[in-house]
Amino acid sequence: MIEIAELTHPTDVVDEIIRERAIRAKVKQSRQFVATIHGREAGYLSFDDHSDTQTGVIYEVFVLPKFRKLGVGSSLVAFAEELASTLKCIRLRLSAIPFDRSVTQNWLDSWYTKRGYIPASDGSHELEKNISVSSDSD
């Protein structure tokens, strides 16, 4: 079972690889989330709300290699989309750049394409997806 929770202190993360990412990302003032699968830390999301442009930004999606292909990455992206919608963002953006050689650029591009992301119209080499605004807090 995949669960996602917000991190208040990056140092609370037990897994060393996720903890290092979270400590580094904290500098950017982004909100951070950890995904667990059956209670074990498996993945990480760093998200920023650019409310001035109604845009949510995924800075990082990362899943520990041993927990990949179990739907954790998809859950983190879906979570970011729901969060962006709740924050009244109308789009989500990201730079699809592999962090390491475990995934190729082609694979990552196709992974996001399957999830509805398309090249941003401003020629920035980012990907974006329009999202519908949640009516929960109306």
Ligand X SMILES: CC(C)(COP(=O)(O)OP(=O)(O)OC[C@H]1O[C@@H](n2cnc3c(N)ncnc32)[C@H](O)[C@@H]1OP(=O)(O)O)[C@@H](O)C(=O)NCCC(=O)NCCS
When binding is defined by CB under 6 A, the residue of 33, 47, 62, 117 that contacts ligand X is 62
Q: How far is the CB of 119 from ligand X (least distance, A)?
A: 14
Give the integer Cα–Cα distance in Å for 46 and 25: 7
Of 14 and 97, which has the nearer Cβ to ligand X?
97
Window contacting ligand X (CB under 6 A); options: 2-10, 26-34, 48-56, 95-103:
95-103
Q: Select from 72, 83, 84, 89 the one that contacts ligand X (CB under 6 A).
A: 72
Residue 73 makes contact with ligand X by CB under 6 A:
yes
Taking the complex as a whole, the smallest distance from the CB of residue 8 to ligand X amounts, in Å, to: 23
105 to each of 49, 88, 95, 98, how far by Cα in Å?
26, 30, 11, 6
Q: List the beta strands (DSSP E) in the chain.
A: 2-6, 31-37, 40-50, 55-63, 91-94, 118-119, 127-130
Does 70 help bind ligand X (rule: CB under 6 A)?
Answer: yes
Token digits of residue 66: 């041993």
Which of 58, 50, 60, 45 lies closest to 7 in space, CA to CA?
Answer: 45
Q: Give contact residues for ligand X (rule: CB under 6 A).
A: 61-63, 68-74, 94, 96-99, 102-103, 108, 111, 114
